Amino acid sequence: MSPKQPEAEITAPHPRGTTMLFGHREAEAALLAAYKSGRIPHAWLIGGAQGIGKATLAYRMARFVLSHRDPLSPDVQRAATLAIDANAPAARHIASGAHGGLLVLERTANDKGVLRTVITVDETRETIAFFGSTAAIEGWRVCIVDTVDELNPNAANALLKILEEPPQQSLFLLISHAPARMLPTIQSRCRKLRLRPLAVEDVIRATALASGRRSDDGALQEAAAASEGSVAQALTLLGGDALKLQKRTQAMLATLPKVDPRELHALGDSLPLSDRVALSAFIDSVDRWISERLRVDGASNANLPRLARLAEVWEKIARAARDTQDYNLERKPLVFSVFSMLAEATR
């Protein structure tokens, strides 16, 4: 019998070319109202769970600002949303990654073509030349950091310096999956915009658009219902095996700090090296479980030492997961390591 082939990975279009926004109308209205006022804060921290549209909203704002450079113009004052024509020059240039008024800080590949695990200080220092240049384009300049969670310590400090003395007509849109873990000094210099998980109906519509499936597709609807408001998660789960793996992982997490060694071996065996979809389903399940524990227990101040241990473990798991994804490492050691650390942290 031939080995089972991994599920095909379905990914959403890059936010730089995504002109439709599902949900987040209040957040969009807040950005638009601030821009219309002519006194928009220079830095915004857009936080929320992974895959719910934070980057899509950031690029949507960048397109609007770079298309309408005068916030007091009649076109801006009449605008009801941040939408602009996909064929507008700013939209086309941003989609191709060639707009002189937009700088995007994100992880890049090293000299060997391997994606780095962090955003480096040298890349972050590009903001100094970007905002100091007058040759490329006049007027507003926008910097999107996707994500600020991935700045290494030196890069975070470099960003802080420019946030402390922002250039004129500069706009920073910082994306974060876990804004509470950012440097307090960076947080204090940003207007916070927290995005909530999407409604199931919005996940269905966005996932149907990204996957090319019909919105009444049964598998799509099941994935959307289990996605916890994340389009990225729905796309990951858009297949029976990934959804089963998520449920299996959640069931094991619910038994912590107890761990069944047989279940642990079986879970590790269900994550073949070539299957990135299954790995994403596992990592997302763990990440959401920890996030929920921190949110619920933190709100009640229950067992603060344990919360501190769990937050520290979260950082270690995130690094290990990124290394496993980026370097395509064996999955089973990651599964054992994750459950070992979580069992110790939750005792």
pLDDT in tens, the chain (347 residues): 334 444 455 667 889 999 899 999 999 999 999 999 999 999 999 999 889 999 999 999 999 999 999 999 999 999 999 999 999 999 999 999 999 999 999 998 888 887 888 899 999 998 988 887 654 456 899 999 999 999 999 999 999 999 999 988 999 999 999 888 888 999 999 999 999 999 999 999 999 998 889 999 999 999 999 888 999 889 888 866 888 898 899 999 999 999 999 999 999 999 988 788 888 889 988 988 998 888 777 666 666 787 888 888 988 998 899 889 888 899 999 999 999 999 999 88
The single-letter code of the amino acid at 117 is T
pTM of the model: 0.80
Give residue 259's pLDDT. 94
Cα angle at 191 between 293 and 231, to 5 degrees?
A: 50
267 neighbors 252 (Cβ within 8 angstroms): yes
Q: Please report the pLDDT score of residue 134 as a whole number.
A: 53
Q: How much is the pLDDT for 76?
A: 97
Longest CA pairwise span in the chain (Å): 68
Q: What gap in Å lies between CA 141 and CA 220, rounded to an integer? A: 39
In this prediction, residue 240 carries a pLDDT of: 63
Q: Which residue has the tokens 């069931």?
A: 251
pLDDT score, position 123: 92
Quote the crossing angle between the two packed helices 25-36 and 54-67, to the nearest 10°: 30
Q: How far is CA 173 from the centre of its chain?
A: 13
- The answer to whether 290 touches 310, Cβ cutoff 8 Å, is yes
List strands edge to edge, sheet with 43-47: 102-105, 141-146, 170-176, 43-47, 191-194
- Those residues whose C-beta lies under 8 Å from the C-beta of residue 339, and which sit 6 or more positions away, are 252, 256, 259, 264
Q: Which residues pair with 44 in a beta bridge?
A: 173, 191
Q: Which amino acid is at 28?
A: E
User: What pLDDT does 2 receive?
Assistant: 38
